[in-house]
């Protein structure tokens, strides 16, 4: 990573190192620090070109937002195995000189990298710390752009990288005259940013830029406001925020924690306390997660991780217990993400001041869908009959939003999630949906979802129902309304199975009435009610329907009825509606409604009963095959006969007649004085009687994906049937070519009729 040391700090570190009498090399000799030449180089920023800030509104995209790719540099600073993993996540943009590209390509191929997801960007570079010198990607209104800054290292090739990628993407680049580095910057995508005070020190020392100007420029070029600038709790030469902290979500931040015995313990706690008492962009204090580090020289670079789409790559240290705890903290904080520990035994390894995050940089998805719900509901909310959820949806792809896919998902008191469709408010990109149906003191979870026509989708929070927004409704005792809830009619009459009847509920009170449940006690009726609970406004009326749905149909009417009650439970009490149901309509004729033949010699025995409590006798008039003649049917007794309630049992014996054509389904009708009941009969096509073709007669190809041909000197005619016996094609001739490309996939029966009248049936498979 790019390291900044003053001569004084360098000498101090050397003295401490020598005093400790460890075997570490002097700091100025360590390759990843500034070289002695670089420490004396005063050329930083000499080629920097300052520009006016963006004229549109800038938005600095967060690391946990959708990424189209990740930037690395070759020669590598990360394991080749990690490059392979990254290439299966997104596009890998590899900075490499033209002379080294073939070597990089060979290295990647040997490591199993998905080369279709690798793009080489030819450019000279001085180091692999692409996090520090890589471009800062923003959206200016709806368009991608890059913000360049003065790199705080005298490495001209690295410092030119923003221009390289602005040219590569053909997007604007804005020059922000601040000395800065990517490792000391993290942002939440909603305008909040975090750095430690190195940014103030370097700009004051090197360019005379004061704190107020630093904050103003961060706002003008990047849209960062507020800008949280803290102490450096690590107290090391690097002074980069990613060595001790990390944004995991707009309201979640990860801070390292040392043992209390460590001299730096109090500084880490000071920073953690700052964020625990500081509001995030959504209006409440940050959720601060702590990752334990042993301190000292033990390797534990856990905050220096890379978030890439739905995966977090966490650099692994040398203590397995701390490693496992760190991965568990990430999993707890980021449910639904894949957490991957990454070791690095090559490429100079990880260090507590230089690890995975330092050596990679995400490239935002230029076409992402941004769900920007700023007025997040949290804590206790003042009572309202419905509560609005307002969000902006910005499709950076330029595609239209899917209007039916802009939704609020919400759960009340731990119940199943419901959806509320969001509609335009009239303000640009803004939509609103309403959460309803809660009570006083209800606990409500919710999240916002959107999709656009380009296929992009996003939720806020990104964890959706695994970690949604949450609020509580204040206690509420609604006043009893004056007036009456009127239901008409108060009695529904049902004559036959299948009858539909409805009643109307009208709110003639002076307040909203909530309808909580509508039930029927007998189990004879199926309700067609509004989604409950339902808030019935003053003067509003709704219709509630019921379907008489007993097991089977009946044709006879009677004046003999069963009474059942329909209960309407509301916030003003329970209302009752009487349902009068014809006993004669409640026929329960028990029979086998399907038969399957898989053997041509099979005989199926079937029985049927009268189980109708209110119908003492059912007369069976006839039993016969419907429309076809493929079955032998014998009955005992022979129709007509009577079936008494819960007493008589009748039998039917069904077998197959000899047949050759491809019918595989027929039916049997049982006619009674209460209606006709049908038995579906399925016959396995494998038991058809099939003759062999003459040697010279051919059917090919079989299976087929399109055209097939029947060819033979004795062929006169070809008929093709589907599996329900319908003829789908017919043709004559000795050579018949048939196009089946538009047919449904499956098995067909091809009847080949020869000139002597013989019929040969063959199966044809259409794929």
Q: Are strands 631-636 and 649-656 parallel, antiparallel or unpaired?
A: antiparallel
Instruction: Find tokens 């299948």 and name the residue.
Output: 498
Q: Which of 609, 490, 502, 493 is nearest to 560 (CA)?
A: 493
Residue 392 CA to residue 375 CA, distance in Å, equals 11
pLDDT at 687: 61
**DSSP letter at 662?**
-
User: Cis bond leading into 703, ω under 30°?
Assistant: yes
Which ranges of 375-518 would DSSP assign to H, the alpha helix? none
Task: Name the stretches of the chain with pLDDT < 70.
Answer: 1-46, 550-560, 584-587, 599-601, 612-615, 646-647, 657-663, 685-695, 723-725
* Predicted pLDDT at 723: 59
Spatial separation of the C-alpha atoms in residues 761 and 661, rounded to whole Å: 7
Residue 745 is encoded by which pair of tokens?
A: 């996939």
The predicted structure's pLDDT at residue 3: 35
750 is written with which tokens? Answer: 């091809």
pLDDT score of 53: 97
Using DSSP bridges, classify how beta strands 443-451 and 407-412 pair: parallel, antiparallel or unpaired: antiparallel
Contact predicate 456/395, CB 8 Å: yes
Tokens for 631, please give them: 């079955």
Please report the pLDDT score of residue 694 as a whole number.
Answer: 63
Domain annotation for the chain: domains and CATH numbers? 39-364 (3.75.10.10), 374-473 (2.60.40.10), 483-585 (2.60.40.10), 589-686 (2.60.40.10), 690-766 (2.60.40.1930)
CA distance 408 to 469: 11
Of 738, 683, 749, 682, the C-alpha closest to 710 is 738
> Quick one: three-class SS letters along 344-364?
CCCCCCCECCECCHHHCEEEE
Q: What is the pLDDT, as a whole number, of residue 275?
A: 98
280 has catalytic annotation? no
Q: Which of 505, 594, 503, 496 is nearest to 549 (CA)?
A: 496
306, 307, 310, 311: CA torsion to nearest 10: 20
Q: What is the pLDDT of residues 487-541, one digit of tens each?
A: 999 999 887 777 899 999 999 998 889 999 999 887 778 888 888 899 999 999 9
For residue 295, how far is the Cα from the chain centroid? 39
- Kindly give the pairing relationship between strand 386-395 and strand 369-372: antiparallel
Residue 585 has what pLDDT? 63
State how far the alpha carbon of 561 is from the alpha carbons of 432, 555, 587, 615, 645, in Å: 50, 15, 13, 12, 18
Predicted pLDDT at 609: 78
Q: Give me the count of residues in the chain.
A: 767
pLDDT at 4: 38
pLDDT for 138 = 98
To the nearest 10°, report the CA torsion of 171, 172, 177, 182: -20
What does the pLDDT read at residue 61?
98
- The residue among 343, 337, 283, 271 whose CA lies nearest residue 310 is 337
pLDDT of residue 16: 36
Nearest by Cα to 674 from 591, 563, 605: 591
Residue (of 559, 648, 564, 566) closest to 612 by Cα position: 648
Looking at residue 23, its pLDDT comes to 33
CB 607 within 8 A of CB 652: yes
Q: What backbone torsions phi and psi does residue 239 show, to the nearest 5 degrees?
A: 55, 45
CB-count burial class (<10 Å; 0-12, 13-18, 19+) for 118: buried
One-letter-per-residue 3-state SS of 168-232 = HHCCCEEEEEEEECHHHCEECCCCCEEEECHHHHHHHHHHCCCHHHHHHHHHHHHCCCCEEEECC
- The one catalytic residue in 94, 243, 280, 358 is 358
Query: 16, exposed or middle or buried, with CB in 10 Å at 0-12, 13-18, 19+?
Result: exposed
pLDDT at 232: 96
Please state, in angstroms and rounded to a whole number, the distance separating the CA atoms of residues 272 and 266: 10
């Amino acid at each position: 990573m790019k390291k900044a040391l003053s001569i004084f700090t360098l000498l101090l570190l050397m003295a401490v190192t020598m005093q400790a009498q460890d075997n570490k090399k002097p700091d100025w000799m360590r390759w990843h620090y500034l070289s002695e030449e670089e420490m004396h180089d005063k050329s930083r920023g000499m080629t920097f070109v300052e520009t006016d800030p963006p004229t549109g509104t800038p938005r600095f995209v967060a690391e946990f937002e959708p990424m189209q790719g990740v930037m690395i540099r070759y020669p590598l600073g990360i394991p080749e195995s990690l490059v392979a993993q990254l290439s299966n996540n997104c596009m890998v943009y590899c900075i490499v000189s033209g002379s080294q590209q073939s070597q990089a390509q060979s290295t990647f191929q040997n490591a199993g990298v998905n080369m279709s997801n690798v793009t080489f960007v030819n450019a000279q570079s001085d180091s692999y710390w692409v996090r520090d010198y890589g471009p800062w990607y923003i959206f200016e209104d709806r368009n991608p752009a890059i913000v360049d800054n003065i790199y705080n290292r005298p490495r001209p090739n690295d410092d030119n990288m923003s221009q390289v990628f602005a040219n590569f993407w053909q997007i604007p680049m804005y020059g922000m005259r601040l000395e800065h580095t990517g490792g000391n910057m993290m942002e939440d995508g909603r305008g909040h940013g975090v750095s430690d005070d190195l940014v103030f020190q370097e700009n004051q020392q090197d360019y005379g830029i004061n704190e107020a100007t630093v904050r103003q420029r961060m706002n003008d070029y990047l849209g960062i406001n507020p800008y949280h600038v803290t102490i450096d709790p690590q107290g090391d030469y690097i002074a980069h925020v990613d060595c001790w902290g990390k944004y995991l979500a707009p309201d979640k931040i990860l801070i390292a924690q040392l043992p209390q015995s460590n001299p730096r313990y109090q500084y880490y706690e000071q920073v953690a306390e700052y964020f625990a008492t500081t509001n995030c962009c959504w209006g409440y204090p940050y959720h601060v997660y702590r990752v334990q580090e042993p301190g000292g020289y033990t390797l534990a670079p856990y905050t220096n991780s890379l978030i890439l789409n739905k995966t977090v790559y966490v650099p692994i240290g040398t203590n397995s217990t701390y490693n496992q705890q760190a991965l568990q903290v990430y999993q707890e904080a980021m449910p639904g993400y894949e957490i991957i520990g990454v070791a690095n035994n090559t490429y100079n390894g990880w260090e507590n001041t230089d690890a995975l995050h330092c050596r990679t940089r995400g490239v935002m998805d230029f076409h992402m869908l941004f769900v920007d719900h700023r007025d997040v509901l949290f804590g206790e909310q003042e009572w309202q009959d419905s509560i609005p959820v307002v969000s902006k949806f910005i499709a950076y792809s330029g595609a239209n939003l899917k209007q039916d896919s802009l939704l609020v998902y919400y759960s009340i008191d731990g119940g199943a999630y419901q959806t509320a469709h969001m509609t335009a408010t009239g303000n640009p990109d803004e939509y609103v949906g309403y959460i309803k149906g809660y009570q006083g003191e209800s606990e409500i979870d919710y999240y916002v979802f959107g999709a656009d026509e380009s296929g992009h989708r996003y939720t806020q929070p990104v964890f959706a129902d695994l970690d949604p927004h949450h609020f509580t409704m204040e206690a509420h005792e609604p006043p009893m309304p004056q007036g009456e809830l009127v239901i008409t009619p108060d009695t529904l009459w049902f004559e036959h199975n299948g009858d539909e009847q409805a009643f109307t509920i009208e709110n003639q009170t002076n307040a909203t009435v909530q309808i909580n449940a509508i039930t029927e006690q007998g189990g004879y009726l199926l309700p067609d009610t509004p989604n409950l609970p339902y808030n019935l406004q003053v003067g509003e009326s709704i219709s509630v329907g019921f379907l008489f749905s007993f097991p089977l149909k009946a044709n006879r009417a009677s004046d003999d009825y069963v009474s059942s009650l329909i209960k309407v439970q509301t916030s003003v009490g329970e209302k009752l509606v009487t349902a009068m149901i014809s006993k004669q309509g409640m026929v329960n004729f028990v029979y086998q409604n399907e038969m399957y033949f898989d053997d041509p010699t099979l005989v199926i025995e079937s029985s049927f009963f009268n189980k109708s409590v209110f119908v003492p006798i059912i007369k069976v008039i006839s039993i016969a095959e419907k429309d076809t003649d493929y079955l032998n049917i014998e009955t005992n007794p022979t129709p007509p006969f009577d079936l008494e309630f819960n007493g008589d049992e009748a039998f039917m014996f069904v077998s197959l007649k000899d047949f050759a054509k491809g019918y595989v389904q027929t039916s049997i009708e049982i006619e009674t004085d209460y209606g006709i009941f049908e038995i579906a009969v399925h016959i396995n096509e494998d038991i058809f009687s099939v003759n062999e073709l003459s040697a010279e007669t051919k059917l090919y190809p079989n299976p087929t994906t399109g055209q097939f041909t029947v060819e033979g000197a004795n062929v006169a005619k070809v008929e093709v049937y589907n599996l329900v016996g319908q003829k789908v094609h017919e043709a004559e001739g000795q050579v018949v070519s048939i196009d089946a490309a538009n047919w449904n996939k499956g098995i067909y029966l091809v009847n080949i009729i020869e000139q002597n009248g013989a019929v040969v049936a063959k199966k044809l498979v259409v794929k």
